[in-house]
Structure 1
Amino acid sequence: MKTTTATFLFLSGLTGAAQAACGPEPDACLLQDGEYHVVLPDTKSARTPMVLFLHGWGSSGDRTLNNTGMVNALQARGYAIVAPTGSRSVGSGNGHGWTFYPGWDGRDETDFLKRVRADAADRFDLDEDRTLLAGFSGGGFMVNYLACKEPMAFAAYAPVSGGFWRPHPTECAAPVRLFHTHGWRDTTVPLEGRILGGGRFQQGDIFAGLEIWRAANQCPDEKATEFSETGHFWRRAWTGCTPGSALELALFPGGHSVPAGWSDMVLDWFEDGLTN
């Protein structure tokens, strides 16, 4: 349900702060049960592809656009950046999280994110079929759970610093196209996982999550079949799996962040999958 006009005005604003508008003011695009922000590439073509990027725990869609390194790199490649806000209020501020964990009450995030994509595509002439769902930290967890439940909902998935919580899913639907990026020194979402909430929750092991994806995609072997390096990223991929699937891991020597160079690396992977 649209509650604002379909006119888009891109505001260049102050250096270092990406801004966008859904109408004549730099406000969020509103749906009945949520909101999103959007920036378009400087040169826009018909049916522009988009990256639907999910913020981390305690953040919001508008704050996503403050990551100008990531946003500018995606824009330079001709992509719109669509940044929705999670439905779970975090603390006393205006931070939010995602209802990704099985059994949590709240908004159906899968349905919401599909409606965000459709609304943005309609407002700004974007391409629903060329949409990469990506997310950082809590947003990365949301990406994994959505991909597990409904892998065909988006063209591909690119979680950063977020996997599954324990108990891990027993299985995921497939085929899925997923590119996972993680910092070697991440202590917020460690590769091995950690205990949260005084023992009420436990982040899962990233490599155990990859085992679930290999099983879903029916990969012929546990070990990776391709190894490469892109800048400071160490990459490993599993090939020979179910047709239409893709699975890759990229590690970088940093902590809990969306690393420099991620945008171009993941878009190269995404675009290669669209042509194969």
Structure 2
Amino acid sequence: MRMKQRDTLLGIGLYGWVVLSLLLTGCGGVSQAQENAIANKNAKMTPKIANGCGKDAEVKAGDSEDETMTADPRVANGNSMRDYYIHVPTGYNKTQSIPLVLVFHGTGARGSDMEQVTGLSQLADQENFIVAYPQGLKDNNGQTFWASIGTTQQGIDEIRYVDDLLDNLEQSFCIDEQRIYATGFSNGGGMSWYLACNLPERIAAFAPVSGNFYDLDTGCNIKKGVPILDVHGTGDTVVPYMGGPAPEKPDLPLPSVPQWLNEWAKRDHCAQGPNTFFQSGNVTGEEWIRCRDGSSIVHYRIEGGGHAWPVSLGGSPSASETIWNFFKQHPLTYS
């Protein structure tokens, strides 16, 4: 079911400064692992054809619209419908399969806010991929959020929601099922990590920004290499870089970002790292390489950086472009 396209963009409060900053340029480094990733994963690809190929899409090329889909109220806090915001690139062709990027908002925000914060819809027009901005439900305080710890959190099954959302999108658009990616900010970054542990067979790579990485009640037992790009500022006071009690959930301590990354390196069976591959101003790029299934882990540490989606990661291109460039190097592999 389609909802009327918005005539005006929503305000984004804390994020507002980013909108203007996205007009600036800067230069993110590219790691050796990123340059070699495509060559490292070739024979393991299994071609798949999306059901939506050949169908006329309800959302016109170049448009951004609110959409709704049915949900099981038993796993959606009583809601029978769930929302998402979607942008279809100007060059969309129903006979050509293209990538999909999922972008998850932070606590108290809306999916459409992330279009302004990240500039990813504009980038999608340039690079020809679809962007979906999923919408979280409201918590007990009336704020939108992601239940990124597990289904015990207010009885919301976010994995079921994303799984159903992907089914919905693949049936409606010509999506390359080997090139589906997820990123997000703050609580949405935590959602990216939650998905990395639970849907790596559908989503090829993940890029949390200022993510809150709580212990999952289901654990994280992946069976394949999962590419991760992480961005975090050492001056973040909302999700502290060195971990410990988080202001928003003091009863749930956070691991430090280095600890979290090293745990991922173990899951991915990385043989080497972290190695510094990039340094510019206050941004340092680190990577873990020779990981299983040709995956890699990349971390951009922003010295003194706060709780915000960065404009760039050390120059030009923008941070969103750096994330997209990482995604492009990591199609889905099948172990």
Distance 1:259 1:155 in 2: 23
Tell me the number of residue pairs that the alignment of Structure 1 and Structure 2 aligns: 264
Partner of 2:256: 205
Match of 2:188 among 139, 150, 170: 139
1:235/1:68 CA distance change after superposition, 3 Å: closer
Matched, 1:157 2:214: no
Unmatched tracts of structure 1, length 5 or more: none
1:121/1:198 CA distance change after superposition, 3 Å: closer
Distance 1:109 1:200 in 2: 22
Partner of 2:68: 30
1:227/1:106 CA distance change after superposition, 3 Å: same
Partner of 1:115: 164
Q: With structure 2 as the length reference, what TM-score do the two structures score?
A: 0.69
1:199/1:184 CA distance change after superposition, 3 Å: closer
Partner of 1:245: 295
Distance 2:126 2:176 in 1: 17
Partner of 1:188: 238
1:74/1:188 CA distance change after superposition, 3 Å: farther
* 8 Å contact kept, 2:231–2:301: yes
* 8 Å contact kept, 1:10–1:40: no
| Equivalent residue letter for 2:203 | F
- Larger mean CA deviation between 126-135 and 197-206 belongs to 197-206
Matched, 1:126 2:183: no
Counterpart secondary structure, 2:202: coil
Partner of 2:326: 269
Q: How far off is 1:22 after superposition?
A: 6.1
The 5 A counterparts of 1:98-113 are 98-102=146-150, 103-113=152-162
Q: How far off is 1:141 after superposition?
A: 0.6
Counterpart secondary structure, 1:118: helix
Matched, 1:78 2:128: yes
Distance 1:252 1:208 in 2: 17
Distance 1:271 1:167 in 2: 28
* 8 Å contact kept, 1:165–1:203: yes
- Larger mean CA deviation between 97-106 and 127-136 belongs to 97-106
* 8 Å contact kept, 1:50–1:132: yes
Q: How far off is 1:69 after superposition?
A: 3.0
The 5 A counterparts of 1:224-263 are 224-225=274-275, 227-229=277-279, 233-253=283-303, 254-260=305-311, 261-263=318-320
Partner of 2:104: 54
Q: How far off is 1:249 after superposition?
A: 0.5
Partner of 1:87: 137
Distance 1:52 1:170 in 2: 23
| RMSD value, Cα | 3.3
